[in-house]
Homo-oligomer: A and B are copies of this chain.
Amino acid sequence: MSIEAPIAKAPQRARGVQRVAELLDAGAALFAENGYETTTMTQIAQRAGASIGSLYQFFPSKEALAEALFVRYVERVASMLEDLAKRAPGLPPPRLADRLIDLMLKVRSDRDSAAALSGSVSGIVERRKSLRGATRRQIAAILRAASPRLREKAAAEAAAMIGHVLKLVPTLAKEQEDGGQPLVPQVRKMLAAYIECVVKR
């Protein structure tokens, strides 16, 4: 279930492959820090230790870089959800909630950049719906694996809701680390309560 990675020219030499990874990482970091519009291509190239020309050798536009980044994020999440699906059967709601939240904590840094992109890059806005659909289907499948009695429709609705809540996780973790309230435990509690409530009858 791989998504087209919109790289300009697939690198054909070892050096090129490395460069692409460096550029992607630099982009992710800067987009997360300063947002899509505010981040300049020159900054990205600089942080990756490359020249601007080198950046454009692999990504034909700022938007293409953003899309590649987004695809990378979506694929990572998809693969982690796939793993979770295997362990889902029989998982009680609180455990399930914890697993989902742990997953988001793992992809935190990627999520931060993806969040910065999802509203700003038109190419992403367009694909968004279908990508979101795929993720939700995975979550719904996990829910039904954990609670086989759950109806398909109820699972779909809950999955959508859960998807939205999960997006909050990185923000909450950030706030907590910055000396705010202990919000991660709160989401855990909230998500567990919600799943429990959905599952019961």
Contacts and interface: CB of A to CB of B under 8 A. Distances in A.
A60 interface: no
A197 B187 contact: no
Interface string A108-127: 00000000100110000000
Nearest to A181: B160
Count the copies: 4
Which interface class (under 10, 10 to 19, 20 to 34, 35 or more) fits A? 20 to 34
Contacts of A198: 189
Interface stretch (A82-90, A99-107, A142-150, A165-173): A165-173
A182 interface: yes
Residue in A119, A189, A190 with the greatest tally of chain B CB atoms within 10 Å: A190
18 contacts: A35-B119, A35-B120, A37-B120, A116-B119, A156-B181, A157-B183, A157-B186, A158-B186, A160-B181, A161-B181, A161-B186, A164-B171, A165-B165, A189-B197, A189-B198, A190-B190, A193-B196, A193-B197
